[in-house]
């Protein structure tokens, strides 16, 4: 196993950070690495907003379910799907109306996610820790106001970056056989694989909570899928110009 694979397989989400700031060279290396990610048709349909100010991080933490580690981390990155820059790029050549299609929404969202994952790998290679934060979609309009997002740009997720102040146990993942399908999609491995995963995740959760939490993957996923979270996203996306036609 080479060092790249070893690093990828050691990933853990970090939710407690030291106050030490990142250097300009570190931030530049992380963002430049993000820019080298694959992008659909070279559109590069994403932007990232780096937030270091204490007050802005406080507001963003509150909007994202009061997750304190957003305040604690020295750098909070908000990854955005961005179609506005494409409009600016085309303007000198010809007038372009940003297509309000579902396809362009997918392209921009996937571009942002690919870039962010590159950034996460780069940060971890520098000895930093990260955690992705979907909670910024709890109040996307207010988040957009805090960081000044215009129409045709929307915040996909956040990412805390900083020096880890904890060494959490790595959360187990599903068995490979339930994720990797050979030649054609099949559910044959699901019953056995999910049962095994429920046992391993239940033990992980029990250990992490000091024996006070009894749950497993199936129960956690059923709870989440039945909660119908963030139903406001469709109307917010429409307002931002992502009409999903």
CATH of the domain at 24: 3.40.109.10
The answer to whether the CB of 44 falls within 8 A of the CB of 80 is no
Q: Assess whether 165 and 180 both reside in one domain.
A: no
pLDDT over threshold 70, residue 62:
yes
> How many separate domains does the chain show?
2
Q: Assess whether 119 and 192 both reside in one domain.
A: no
Q: Assess whether 128 and 144 both reside in one domain.
A: yes
Given this model, what pLDDT does residue 238 score?
A: 96
The answer to whether the CB of 131 falls within 8 A of the CB of 13 is yes
Q: Assess whether 145 and 175 both reside in one domain.
A: no
Given this model, what pLDDT does residue 212 score?
A: 67
Q: How far apart are the first and last CA of the chain?
A: 45
Q: Assess whether 125 and 189 both reside in one domain.
A: no
Residue written as token pair 């007050």: 55
The answer to whether the CB of 158 falls within 8 A of the CB of 60 is yes
pTM > 0.75: yes or no:
yes
Q: Which one, of 90, 100, 93, 94, lies nearest residue 151 by Cα?
A: 100
Report the side by side order of strands in the sheet with 46-51.
46-51, 75-82, 153-162, 129-133
Q: Distance (Å, rounded) from C-alpha 245 to C-alpha 231?
A: 18
Burial class (CB in 10 A: 0-12, 13-18, 19+), 80: buried
Q: Assess whether 162 and 213 both reside in one domain.
A: no
Q: Assess whether 195 and 132 both reside in one domain.
A: no
Please provide the average confidence, as pLDDT, over all residues in the chain.
96
Burial class (CB in 10 A: 0-12, 13-18, 19+), 104: buried
Q: Coil, strand or helix: which one is 96?
A: coil
pLDDT over threshold 90, residue 96:
no
Q: Assess whether 225 and 175 both reside in one domain.
A: yes
Domain boundary among the residues 146, 169, 192 is at: 169
Domain boundary among the residues 104, 138, 169 is at: 169
Domain boundary among the residues 109, 138, 169 is at: 169
Q: Assess whether 143 and 206 both reside in one domain.
A: no
Question: In terms of residue numbers, what domain contains 231?
Answer: 171-244
Q: Assess whether 149 and 203 both reside in one domain.
A: no
Mean pLDDT of 87-99: 90
- Sequence-separated (6 or more) residues with CB below 8 Å from residue 181: none
Length of the chain: 245
pLDDT category of residue 98 using cuts at 50, 70 and 90: confident
Q: Assess whether 158 and 192 both reside in one domain.
A: no
Q: What is the pLDDT of residues 173-205, one digit of tens each?
A: 999 999 999 999 999 999 999 999 999 999 998
Q: Assess whether 199 and 225 both reside in one domain.
A: yes
């Amino acid at each position: 196993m080479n060092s790249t694979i070893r690093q990828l397989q050691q990933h853990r989400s970090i939710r407690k950070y030291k106050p030490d700031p990142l250097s300009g060279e570190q931030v530049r290396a992380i963002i430049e690495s993000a820019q080298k990610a694959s992008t659909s048709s070279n559109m590069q349909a994403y932007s990232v907003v780096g937030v270091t100010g204490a007050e802005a991080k406080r507001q963003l933490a509150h909007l994202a379910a009061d997750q304190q580690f957003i305040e604690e981390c020295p750098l909070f990155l908000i990854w955005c799907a961005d179609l506005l820059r494409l409009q600016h790029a085309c303007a000198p050549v010809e007038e372009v109306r940003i297509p309000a299609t579902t396809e362009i929404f997918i392209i921009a969202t996937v571009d942002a996610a690919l870039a962010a994952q590159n950034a996460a790998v780069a940060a971890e290679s520098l000895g930093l820790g990260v955690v992705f934060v979907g909670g910024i979609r709890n109040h996307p309009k207010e988040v957009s106001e805090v960081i000044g997002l215009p129409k045709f740009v929307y915040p996909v997720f956040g990412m805390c970056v900083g020096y880890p102040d904890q060494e959490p146990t790595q959360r187990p993942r599903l068995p490979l056989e339930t994720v990797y399908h050979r030649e054609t999609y099949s559910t044959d491995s699901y019953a056995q694989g999910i049962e095994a995963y429920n046992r391993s995740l239940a033990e992980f959760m029990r250990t992490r909570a000091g024996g006070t939490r009894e749950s497993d993957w199936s129960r956690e996923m059923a709870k989440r899928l039945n909660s119908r979270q963030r139903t406001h996203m469709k109307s917010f996306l429409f307002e931002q110009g992502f009409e999903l036609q």
